[in-house]
Structure 1
Amino acid sequence: MATSGADKPNIRQVAQLAGVSHMTVSRVLNDYPHIKEATRRRVMEVIEELDYRPNMAARALATQKSRRIGVVVESAVEFGPTSTLRAVEFAARASGYAVSSIALRDGDEITPQEAVDNLTAQGIDALCVVAPRSSSVAALRKISISIPVLVVKPDKDPTFLTVSVDQQEGTKLAVDHLVSLGHRDILHLAGPLDWLDARARERAFHARAKAWGIRERPIVVGDWTADFAYDFAMGIRSIPEYTAVFVANDEMAVGLVHGLHDRGISVPDDLSVIGFDDVPLAAHVLPPLTTVRQNFHALGVSAVDMLRAAIEEREIPRVTRIPAELVVRSSTTAPRETGS
């Protein structure tokens, strides 16, 4: 069935062709939980056949919901926060929600309070906060917010909904991989420890090193940048005693490999290097980087599912940690022989 002329298909035409009431069509469009799967499928097939597009303004008036999620994202120039924002936007659109976002950057005059006020003034139904620093979460607690709030952070929180890629499991995968190759002396090049993910990876590294009974060296605290790791590598006088480095993100790992190369230290023959994130270039540096992949798509879907459940006063999904994945490439191998 197709419409002709300038007429656009409406909800009653969908209902008539699907053999259901217009209220049932409305419930399918709003993901009402108690619709039979066969009915839902039939309605969606008709919607696709007619190329029906629901009137979002009318839906908002009917439900008293704007179907809009606000996102405050800090340090949006970094790979993790940027990827999380894109994933939330994609998942929201797929669910029929729009997204309004505000990025907070170092040196900006806008405060977290002003960012939240700006978004709530737009009538958002829920707020997602990608705030990687502990100080940002502390500031958020001081703001009175009357809508559901989800914070992307590695630990559960008594105040907010939370979801994240499992940082502890990702770190465990990295350390276990190095140990399986035979490494027993591993250095951790950490991210800034006021970042919640960096702190989670640092703690998990120490816990896993202790569990394996391997040597625990003092960590090196970086700033996420390749330049920092390059400079660190250039300061190494000779091949170090440790045989592997677990680096808290791929950008620093790439800088480290570059610096080691310029110092005449071979990766992985002299020193194995493993990163975290699996940025697009990780597979194309030399040597291709072994790393831990974060599934940002699944993170965005989970965040939006949780917020929608809160908006629609349904049971909140229990999945709050997204599994990480080890990606083995060429920057890790068995350790050099002692004394070589």
Structure 2
Amino acid sequence: MAASPERTDAPAPRREPSILDVAREAGVSAQTVSRVATGKDVVKAATRERVVDAMRRLGYRPNGAARALKAGRYRSIGVIMFSLATYGNMRTLEAIAGEATAAGYSITLIPLDAATQGSVSGAFARLGEESVDGIVIIIEAHRLNESEIVLPSGLPVVVLDSSAEYDLPVIDTDQAQGARLATEHLLGLGHRTVWHVAGPEESFSAQRRRDSWERTLRAHGAPVPEPIIGDWTAESGRAAGALLASIPEATAVFAANDQMALGVMHALHEAGRAIPGDVSVVGFDDMPEAASFWPALTTVRQHFHEVGVAALQALVASIENAHVDDTALVPTELVVRASSAPPRA
């Protein structure tokens, strides 16, 4: 007995609607549908509405790759970021993503564990496969400045928070201004000098803040204590604070970020040193929790949103072949709260 042919109940693959299907549904030509899909303004409003309605009914999705090939743009931006763990980087990334959406671009994020030649070059290669129109680099480590790291030619690039000496637009917070404001505030209250809990030595931001702190002390004829190096974490700030609590003449401390300032304050509390009665503390960032520290933290406010927006706008301008300034510094401001006061008489 001959075997009966096998039955299959699997449905036939659903065919995606084509531009011709939309044209028939809307009663227009395929060329008109193409003009609507690519955003051309030559189509009458009533006809455009009819075509869009037909697209929705049929579930038609314009071919993005084909549009990009025709327009010479992918409407996509790559972001290479050194760390997702820091408050400032995440706030900046949020601003970049929001501004990109408003400008009609999507974001492809490549986070890196370390800014080395291989990792950065690999990130560029991956973004090349993603077909991006430009790249924003948020890498603060000095290693980005190594000569062996070659940036892609012919692709617009904007660098954030870096000492990289490339012929590229660089957007950054005015780190030096912020550190000067913090140091001058404490000196102005009458403290003989200001101790500094610095960020990691490989950080460009930390170096800028540390150098400005030292210059400000020297400009005012104040002694320059040896900086205590931290790693941006509250734990490293707590270790620094334990050391500072043992130095009676340390009456004013400028920490290079709010997290380390929190650790410093914790250690001072543990040692029985009153804040600001015995020691005044100033941070840097103005993270949302800073106003809820005990006492509320005097700090330098960075405008991360403005930095991210400026970076995205500079990149889009570069993509569109408009003029872009080489460097843009976003100003900081001092926010005075309860953690700083004149020293005891």
Show the counterpart of 1:103: 111
Q: TM-score, normalised by structure 1?
A: 0.79
| Cα deviation code 1:61-111 (max 9, x no counterpart) | 442111111011012111222222222111111211111011112599x72
Show the counterpart of 1:91: 99
CA shift in 2, pair 1:14/1:290, >3 Å = farther
Q: CA deviation at 1:60?
A: 2.7
Show the counterpart of 1:77: 85
CA shift in 2, pair 1:332/1:14, >3 Å = farther
Show the counterpart of 1:258: 266
2: CA distance, partners of 1:62 / 1:269: 67
Show the counterpart of 1:335: 343
| Cα deviation code 1:318-337 (max 9, x no counterpart) | 66100111111111011122
Of 300, 318, 323, 2:308 maps to 300
Is residue 2:171 matched to residue 1:163?
Answer: yes
Show the counterpart of 1:212: 220
CA shift in 2, pair 1:226/1:67, >3 Å = same
Is residue 2:287 matched to residue 1:286?
Answer: no
CA shift in 2, pair 1:282/1:125, >3 Å = same
Q: Would the aligned equivalents of 1:188 and 1:247 in 2 still touch at CA under 8 Å?
A: yes
Show the counterpart of 2:280: 272
Q: Between 256-265 and 229-238, report the one with greater CA deviation.
A: 229-238
Unaligned runs of 5+ residues in structure 2 are 1-24, 27-32, 49-60
1: CA distance, partners of 2:216 / 2:42: 57
Equivalent pairs: percent with the same residue? Answer: 35
Q: Between 248-257 and 170-179, report the one with greater CA deviation.
A: 170-179
2: CA distance, partners of 1:303 / 1:216: 35
Q: Between 138-147 and 273-282, report the one with greater CA deviation.
A: 138-147
| Cα deviation code 1:249-299 (max 9, x no counterpart) | 000000100110000001111000000011111111111111111111110
Of 199, 202, 210, 2:207 maps to 199
2: CA distance, partners of 1:139 / 1:70: 22
**What CA RMSD, in Å, does the superposition of the two structures yield over aligned residues?**
2.9
Q: Between 190-199 and 312-321, report the one with greater CA deviation.
A: 312-321
CA shift in 2, pair 1:105/1:259, >3 Å = same
Unaligned runs of 5+ residues in structure 1 are 1-5, 23-53
CA shift in 2, pair 1:116/1:331, >3 Å = same
CA shift in 2, pair 1:229/1:69, >3 Å = same
1: CA distance, partners of 2:319 / 2:105: 12
Q: Would the aligned equivalents of 1:133 and 1:195 in 2 still touch at CA under 8 Å?
A: yes
Q: Would the aligned equivalents of 1:191 and 1:224 in 2 still touch at CA under 8 Å?
A: yes
1: CA distance, partners of 2:161 / 2:302: 13
Show the counterpart of 2:324: 316
| Cα deviation code 1:213-250 (max 9, x no counterpart) | 11111111111111111122224564520220010000
CA shift in 2, pair 1:100/1:112, >3 Å = same
Of 126, 134, 144, 1:136 maps to 144
Instruction: Tell which structure's C-alpha radius of gyration is larger.
Output: 2
Show the counterpart of 1:68: 76
2: CA distance, partners of 1:143 / 1:92: 22
Q: Would the aligned equivalents of 2:167 and 2:326 in 1 still touch at CA under 8 Å?
A: no
CA shift in 2, pair 1:214/1:94, >3 Å = same
The letter of the residue matching 1:77 is A
Of 179, 186, 200, 1:178 maps to 186
Q: Would the aligned equivalents of 1:305 and 1:317 in 2 still touch at CA under 8 Å?
A: no
1: CA distance, partners of 2:162 / 2:121: 23
The letter of the residue matching 1:274 is V
Secondary structure in 1 matching 2:284: coil
CA shift in 2, pair 1:56/1:270, >3 Å = farther
CA shift in 2, pair 1:210/1:107, >3 Å = closer
2: CA distance, partners of 1:296 / 1:274: 19
